[in-house]
């Protein structure tokens, strides 16, 4: 049972559904592509903090995916065709856009919820280099998405990341009372749990194939 969709495609509801499902589940950016691990492992002890970070990542991924898709299609590609500006610039452009946006987000969070601000600690500026967010922007270019499906893809990727971190926080909160060897406590256990989740997601391999 493999669903395939090649782009460009009519923006049918079915196609958009496939994009969303593949980004959020079968090609989950955390459990299938293993991006965005650092903050995932460190901030997933409590559901509240995890949900806060998850929402922040979801927000940043969606908006920057949209901005980057637009920049790619309406600025980088025409510049490349007209003046030979190398497309390799997309890396720098994307990451600077993300960095600028995260800076904005940091200011907003600091103003709105000081508790969340301190709970996130260093992992708030680290959203900037969250490989998942940059990965989402780069993948949507590789898969040939436009602005609409690209933004949806970004939303799906962020959603998948958020669901994974909340699931992880739920599991870790349940395990908080268990007897665990001192060395394994914390990141060690989180890695084992993630490994098991990743094995489960291996089953989704290649279920939905997008792109050429």
| Contacting residues toward other proteins, per CB under 8 A | 2, 4, 8, 34-39, 41-42, 85-86, 88-89, 91-92, 95-96, 98-100, 102-103, 106, 121-122, 125-126, 128-131, 134-135, 138, 142-144, 181-189, 191-192, 194-195, 198-199, 202, 205-206, 209-212
Q: Which is nearer to other proteins, 20 or 35 (by Cβ)?
A: 35
Q: Closest separation between CB of residue 151 and other proteins, Å? A: 19
Angle between helix 13-21 and helix 147-175 axes, rounded to 10 deg? 40
Nearer to other proteins, 14 or 195 (CB): 195
Q: At closest approach, how far in Å is the CB of 48 from other proteins? A: 19
Query: 204 in helix, strand or coil?
Result: coil
Which tokens is 178 given? 């268990």
Q: Which residues pair with 4 in a beta bridge?
A: 209
* Closer residue to other proteins in complex, CB, 55/193: 193
Smallest gap from Cβ 70 to other proteins, in A, equals 18
Residue 80: CB minimum distance to other proteins, A: 12
The owner of tokens 């969606």 is: 62
Residue whose CB is less far from other proteins, 4 or 12: 4
Question: What is the end-to-end Cα distance of the chain in Å, rounded?
Answer: 19
By CB atoms closer than 10 A (0-12, 13-18, 19+), residue 166 is middle
Query: CA–CA separation, 66 vs 54, rounded Å?
Result: 18
Q: How far is the CB of 84 from other proteins (least distance, A)?
A: 8
Q: Which is nearer to other proteins, 177 or 183 (CB)?
A: 183
Please count the other Cβ atoms lying within 10 Å of the Cβ belonging to residue 192. 12
Residue 152 CB coordination number (10 Å): 22
């Amino acid at each position: 049972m493999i669903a395939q969709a090649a782009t460009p495609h009519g923006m049918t509801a079915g196609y958009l559904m496939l994009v969303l499902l593949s980004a959020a589940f079968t090609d989950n950016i955390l459990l299938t592509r293993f991006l965005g691990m650092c903050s995932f492992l460190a901030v997933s002890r409590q559901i509240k903090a995890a949900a806060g970070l998850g929402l922040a990542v979801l927000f940043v991924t969606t908006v920057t995916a949209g901005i980057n898709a637009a920049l790619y299609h309406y600025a980088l590609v025409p510049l490349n065709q007209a003046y030979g500006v190398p497309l390799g610039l997309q890396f720098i452009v994307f990451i600077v856009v993300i960095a600028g946006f995260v800076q904005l987000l940091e200011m907003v969070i600091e103003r709105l919820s000081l508790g969340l601000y301190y709970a996130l600690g260093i992992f708030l500026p680290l959203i900037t280099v969250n490989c998942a967010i940059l990965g989402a922007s780069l993948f949507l270019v590789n898969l040939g998405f436009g602005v609409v499906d690209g933004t949806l893809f970004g939303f799906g990727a962020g959603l998948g990341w958020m669901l994974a971190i909340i699931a992880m926080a739920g599991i870790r909160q349940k395990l908080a009372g268990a007897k665990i060897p001192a060395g394994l406590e914390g990141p060690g256990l989180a890695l084992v749990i993630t490994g098991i989740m990743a094995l489960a997601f291996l089953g989704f391999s290649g279920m939905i194939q997008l792109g050429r």
